[in-house]
Amino acid sequence: MKREPVLAVVCVRHTSGRFPGKSMAELAGKPILEHIIERLSRADSVGRIVVAAANDGHDAPVLDLCRRLGINALSGSTSDVLARFGEAVRIYGQGFKYVFRAMADQPFLDWYALDESTALLEDRGWDLALPWAFDRDPVYGAGLCPWRTKAFWRMFEASKGDEREHPGLWFRRHLDGLNYGLRDLPHWAYRPYRLELDTAADLMMFRAVWKLWDRPQQISLIRAITAIDTHPEVSKMNAHVGEKSGPFTTVREPERDVWRRDYERRDVVWSVSKKGGVLRAPTWQRASGSAWA
């Protein structure tokens, strides 16, 4: 096992309302979940990957896949996502400085972003970093960031109601008491493309991206965005699919006003250096000292 600082927990549930069993749907000859595990494995900051499946009676294929790949896995509460997330951290997270919740519907997650954000937390001593734009989400899979394990347990103990179904929502509702900063993501991270697997149309679009890539290794998020930019017909394949939930689709405007006011007093790390180049840290260790402007 790599002794890197991040424990990545993939939360999986078979009984999705719009696309049951989506984590096991085939993409480029592999289940979506296998793609996600491969992408997390490419992150230098990730020392261990755990799959936390819902014990909804359909978790056997997920657990079988994890056994085949040599990945630790467990089954837990179907209704309380945070409970099974916390169980994974309790069992497998000893010694890890950060935890990261990976989504089972995120087949283009940016492993580079995870390394960069981890480097940023190491450099600044923050518990988490949020995207600088408070009024829109980056494309699904961009700007990923782990949480400091101590902050995770604080959130775990305090979360209630919908915060149990959406781990991390508690952070958004308690910004004033958090040690966090903001990260300005590069312009390519803001695209109108749907890269979240919720429907069969999404899967069709993802398969089209992989056909354009036409290589066995994982495609980076920025290359996927570039492929869609140059083939706009691909993005139209799932453009009609509506967003069901998310920070900017379910949160009321007064709550966003609170975010805006809190953001105004936070430090921002810009994605562009004084020389005009994009700041990237290939491994989390690179950010020690002066890596961030």
| Residue 213 scores a pLDDT above 90 | yes
pLDDT at 146: 98
Residue 280 lies in a domain: yes
CB 132 within 8 A of CB 187: no
* Range name among 121-125, 163-167, 246-250 with the lowest pLDDT average: 246-250
Q: At 202, give phi and psi (nearest 5°).
A: -60, -45
Residue 1 lies in a domain: no
Residue 255 lies in a domain: yes
Q: What is the mean pLDDT of residues 107-119?
A: 95
DSSP labels for 43-54?
A: -TTEEEEEEEEE
Where residue 141 sits, what CATH number does that domain have?
3.90.550.10
pLDDT at 285: 41
d(CA 17, CA 31): 19
Residue 292 lies in a domain: no
User: Per the structure, how many domains does the chain have?
Assistant: 1
Q: What are 235-264's pLDDT values in tens digits? A: 999 999 987 655 555 667 888 888 889 999
The DSSP call for residue 22 is G
Q: What is the mean pLDDT of residues 202-228?
A: 97
Structure tokens at 265: 């007093």
| Residue 190 scores a pLDDT above 80 | yes
pLDDT at 247: 52
Residue 62 lies in a domain: yes
Residue 191 lies in a domain: yes
DSSP labels for 74-121?
A: EEE-SS-HHHHHHHHHHHH-TT-SEEEEEETT-TT--HHHHHHHHHHH
Q: What is the mean pLDDT of residues 13-24?
A: 83
| Residue 291 scores a pLDDT above 70 | no
pLDDT at 246: 55
Confidence of residue 68 (pLDDT cuts 50, 70, 90): very high
pLDDT at 249: 56
Q: What are 130-163's pLDDT values in tens digits? A: 999 877 889 999 999 999 999 999 999 999 999 9
**Domain containing 18: what range?**
6-287
Residue 293 lies in a domain: no
